[in-house]
Amino acid sequence: MPAPPVPASLQKSIDATKVEYVQLGKSGLRVSSPILGTMGIGSKEWQGWVMEEEEGMEVLKAAWDRGLNTWDTANVYSSGKNEEIVGKAIKKFNIPREKLVLLAKCYGTVPEEPGIFNWPFEAQMAKSRDYVNQG
């Protein structure tokens, strides 16, 4: 018996997809290959090479449109601004949360000011009452 024709909506989705998907270990998750690293999206105050929100939102939208369903982020990227932008993109572009895999890392202390790069100041932050529940 021949296979039925692929539904038009499924074929449209396949045609628009520009990446491959792989199984993530035994987790049951299928992740895009490549994975979008978002460290470069956030605030230039954190690092001069980082894209600001508007440009970063364009990158996130383009990645989603091309099938990248897996985005990597961390609490320290642009002192948390990165994760705020990722959240805004999900909302603005109506990205179904159940179809997006977010790889979130938590490491180190998140400075309260975007212009502070945390790693050189970990020891000092550990002594501050403002950072008592971090790190």
Q: Which of 3-12, 90-99, 100-109 has the highest mean pLDDT?
A: 90-99
Chain segment 3-62, per-residue pLDDT in tens: 899 899 999 888 888 899 999 999 989 999 999 999 999 999 989 999 999 999 999 999
The predicted structure's pLDDT at residue 44? 94
Query: What pTM did the predictor assign?
Result: 0.82
Name the active-site residue from 21, 77, 107, 131.
77
pLDDT score recorded for residue 124: 83
Taking CB atoms within 8 Å and a gap of at least 24, the contacts of 55-59 are 56/85, 56/89, 57/85, 57/88, 57/89, 57/92
State yes or no: is 107 an active-site residue. Answer: no
Residue 33 CA to residue 14 CA, distance in Å, equals 15
What residues form DSSP beta bridges with 106?
none
3-state DSSP assignment of residue 95: coil
pLDDT band at 121 (very low <50, low <70, confident <90, very high): confident
Least confident of 61-65, 73-77, 92-96, 116-120: 116-120
46-91 per-position pLDDT tens digit: 899 999 999 999 999 999 999 999 999 998 899 889 999 999 999 9
Strand partners, 85: none
